[in-house]
């Protein structure tokens, strides 16, 4: 079971413009600037989820991870997405974690993922914006694109 959350971030149109100007230069290692910014933004959510997960749940905390979605839902209209949740070492979700989060007919729900996301939306979006802007400035300097560099610097300060 997955839950989708939408968030508006100030400055994304400008960042998108800068990314388009830089083109393939932003791909880089490990998926590039967008993926790296998403992974950084997911960190506070993961940390809070580990703190909130009920401790009597057979060490679910050890299965909490952030990972890149290998196949992004086309309805999202994005190229990159990151999951934070219960992911086994083989990349499969763990059903028990959903039973704890949402409850069952015999057990009350004990949410830990949803509150972690809701409690970190602002911080995570700020981390995403700042990391992406910093990366754009770095790549723009490297390739000599002054416009993209200026956009990134301006967005970083928001």
Tens-digit pLDDT profile for residues 49-99: 999 999 887 678 888 888 877 776 676 556 666 778 776 665 455 678 888
- What single string gives the DSSP state of each residue in 56-104? TSSSGGGGEEEEE-SS--GGG--S--EEEEEB-TTS-B-HHHHHHHH--
Tens-digit pLDDT profile for residues 35-49: 888 899 999 999 999
Give the predicted TM-score (pTM) of the model: 0.76
């Amino acid at each position: 079971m997955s839950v989708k959350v939408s968030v508006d971030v100030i400055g994304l149109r400008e960042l998108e413009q800068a990314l388009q100007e830089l083109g393939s230069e932003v791909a880089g290692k490990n998926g590039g600037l967008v993926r790296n910014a998403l992974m950084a933004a997911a960190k506070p959510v993961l940390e809070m989820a580990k703190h909130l997960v009920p401790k009597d749940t057979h060490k679910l905390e050890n299965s909490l991870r952030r990972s890149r979605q290998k196949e992004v839902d086309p309805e999202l209209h994005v190229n990159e997405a990151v999951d934070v949740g219960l992911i086994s070492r083989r990349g499969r979700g763990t059903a028990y974690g959903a039973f704890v989060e949402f409850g069952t007919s015999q057990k009350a729900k004990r949410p830990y993922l949803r509150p972690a996301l809701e409690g970190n939306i602002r911080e995570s979006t700020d981390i995403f914006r700042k990391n992406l802007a910093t990366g754009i400035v770095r790549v723009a300097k490297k390739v000599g694109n002054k416009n993209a560099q200026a956009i990134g610097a301006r967005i970083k300060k928001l």
